[in-house]
Structure 1
């Protein structure tokens, strides 16, 4: 697909690398948005990356919209020569699947769901062809996930499953959004998993909850003192299923500022992943767990 540019009022330009999310589109978007930052174009005030696109905010009193568009198009060649190797980090995120808090919430909103007779996990397992909810949960946590963007709500990561596209989990959002979602809910919509960073409205299916804070505007959580948002695009996540006792223990450690997420340095090579997905994922697990 040819890169598409569109204006958002007179202060924004939206740059879309592809109509659908793929890791190739992500790397092209990342490469071009980094080039925009490096170019230090007069008048640019913000560059906001997304899954397969990015948006530039600029001051039209400093640079006219058409001139800004020309500057961006001149950098488009960087997307075609995108760097496909990323030095990043892999992070273990504990998840209490089928927890009582998201269960209570989803039951309050069944009339907004495609299948009012069951739970979100019942529905997700069935439409993805899994015989049991346990099998579906295993599919959700057994492979790593790639953080393709952070935003929409402060600190909320969108995560893309590192498997062949034919094996990706797909679940539609609720028919009508909820007015409530517990903080740190692990959700799912389309082909993306996410973590709700704050309590609020939402439309993604709810699978569980993590005791690990990912957003702290007070910056009092031990591992969020340097920056209030935990995730950044390019991070890789491995979900770790936990039970209620483990959830309570981690939550106590968080509240006492004793909890530190398991984080290891890792390298992600897109060409190597496309050539051998299972082998790449095995190496990522070795980087995280040292086995």
Structure 2
């Protein structure tokens, strides 16, 4: 790092005179460098923060990464720079290519979800950081678990599938057989198991993990050990409720009894409301899942035995919720069935992640098969006849709902992608397990596609009527216990509606109402025979699909890591373009032998109209790209940048 060309030391304060130029330079150790400015950057708060969430395109400076020409105002300095002491040498971390990261067991460990050998493997295996990693999550390459159960039941065919539950930053999430360390931009809710969670004081290391690094997870001694005979990560049990550890600053409260039961969700709702009205000391956040409630404290020191006993006692007092009547709006949304954007996501998955998945090339046909339906038209009718109840928000980002049909006869059950997709179009609609989700933004995903709809998040507007709004802003459309129904539109019409939504010219139809749990229970009783028949057919088809997977080796498949190829020699007269990431060329859009003119400050790859995407672990250079394309440029011609599209 330098100021006006003069080097300045890392980890020490320095003064930047007005008009000076600060250059950070190349990061030589780790993945990221940080520049701290006295007073901070003066930008408006968004949802209580000044940070930028670039994937969601909000917060910070215009909701995006900085570009040339941006002007940033600084906040008021609290103290002069010379009053700030350098970071002591003993407090400066050692940053290399091999890491040890402290974790704690839970929330989903052995013997309920993983075998004891699986958990020991997690804690003894040197994992490699996969190139397909970012702030949403750090994918790891390592051994495949043996698993303690055959499948996830209603949550999905793979044993990693669970009913959607809140996640913690730093959770080791198994998306199928692939482990992912969830980052600060990762989802707050999802349907995969998490055997261990990184301790709060260790999470900074996530930001420095670079592709190819080695990660060793080390078990830390918990402040509150598991009771004798309890599963790993279980802090306490009482009256059918279990308290699970999520790192050292969060706990998860859920019923011991497995399965999807709307009465259990109602019970979680009552508990959520009780804790909001009488919060324990140090409470920072509450996140409800399908059948669980995450309680997050400001500091690990707030997670006392007294606090844990109080949570369990309060949860046990919420014995049932049969008399619960909740606000429940009816929200009608358009859907483009089998939308082209979902087809593109499937094609990308097959090209860059996995080309032999049993749910591809058409997710809808897989949904038909695994539910025992006669035709794809039956999938269509079931979906559009259903009324989906919103049980959670924030599943795969930005107010994305996780919802299930009120009528079990409409409850299509699928499994989730293994491994997960790296790209999903904004507002794609998918089904995973027994749940439907609308993806709030572009990003990874694992639900089986059925279509695409309009936005469920509006970064420029505020939807009224929810006391969860921060600073008067509530950009998410849906609420807990809303009921969603669909009407079909063509793909072109959907694009028009999406544009009108962005312009503030259109909003979906919403009608206020209520939902009575007692009345819903009566409905289930009245239709119990038909519901049982539907579920019987569904279970049989589910079992047949499981047998097909066994026969095909789906449950025992082993993916050998691709060995990076050595860079090919450059052809005479060609110039190499160095890429600071592991990548391969997705497609070349120039004819062989075509000459490409290169202007000042224009990247060769951009001039060639070449697209690159991080899709396979090839060498970390693209030296042979120009030769492969037949381009001829003179040595010394400027190569300033490489325009890329990197899969999240």
> 8 Å contact 2:268–2:292 — kept in the other structure?
yes
Distance 1:133 1:221, change over 3 A: farther
Q: Which residue of 2 aligns with 1:85?
A: 325
Match of 1:161 among 396, 399, 405: 405
Higher helix share: 1
1:141 corresponds in structure 2 to 384
Q: Which moved more, 1:258-267 or 1:2-11?
A: 2-11
In structure 1, how many angstroms separate the alpha carbons of the residues matched to 2:460 and 2:494? 22
Pick from 355, 362, 369: which aligns with 1:126? Answer: 369
Task: Encode CA deviations 1:72-115: one digit per residue, 9 max, x unaligned.
Answer: 12212442143421122110111100111111221332415214
The alignment's C-alpha RMSD in Å is 2.5
User: Structure 1 residues 7, 255: CA separation in 2 closer, same or farther (over 3 Å shift)?
Assistant: closer
Aligned residue in 1 for 2:311 = 72
Question: C-alpha displacement at 1:221, in angstroms?
Answer: 7.7
Moved more, 91-100 or 125-134: 125-134
TM-score normalised by length of structure 1: 0.86
Tell me what 2:236 maps to. none
Conserved 8 A contact 1:46-1:57: yes
Q: Does the 8 A contact of 1:221 with 1:257 survive in 2?
A: no
Residue in structure 2 matched with residue 258 of structure 1 by the alignment: 505
Alpha-carbon distance in structure 1 between the residues aligned to 2:246 and 2:492: 49
Structure 2 CA distance for aligned equivalents of residues 96 and 181 of structure 1: 15
Aligned position for 1:213 = 455
Q: 1:54 aligns with which of 268, 276, 293?
A: 293
Query: Is residue 106 of structure 1 aligned with residue 346 of structure 2?
Result: yes
The answer on whether the counterparts of 1:112 and 1:174 sit within 8 Å (CA) in structure 2 is no
Counterpart CA distance in 2 for 1:222 and 1:45 is: 24
Shift of 1:277: 5.2
Q: For structure 1, which segment, 236-245 or 259-268, has the greater mean C-alpha deviation from structure 2 after superposition?
A: 236-245
Equivalenced residues, count? 276
**Aligned-partner SS, 1:246:** helix
Runs of 4+ in 1 over 6 A off after TM superposition: 221-225
Greater mean deviation of Cα atoms: 220-229 or 199-208:
220-229
* 1:189 counterpart residue number: 432
1-side partners of 2:343 and 2:390: how far apart?
26
**Unpaired runs of 5+ in structure 2?**
1-238, 528-648
Tell whether 2:264 aligns with 1:25: yes
CA distance in structure 2 between the aligned counterparts of 1:279 and 1:230, rounded to whole angstroms: 33
Please tell me whether Structure 1 or Structure 2 has the larger radius of gyration of its CA atoms.
Answer: 2
SS in 2 for 1:103: helix
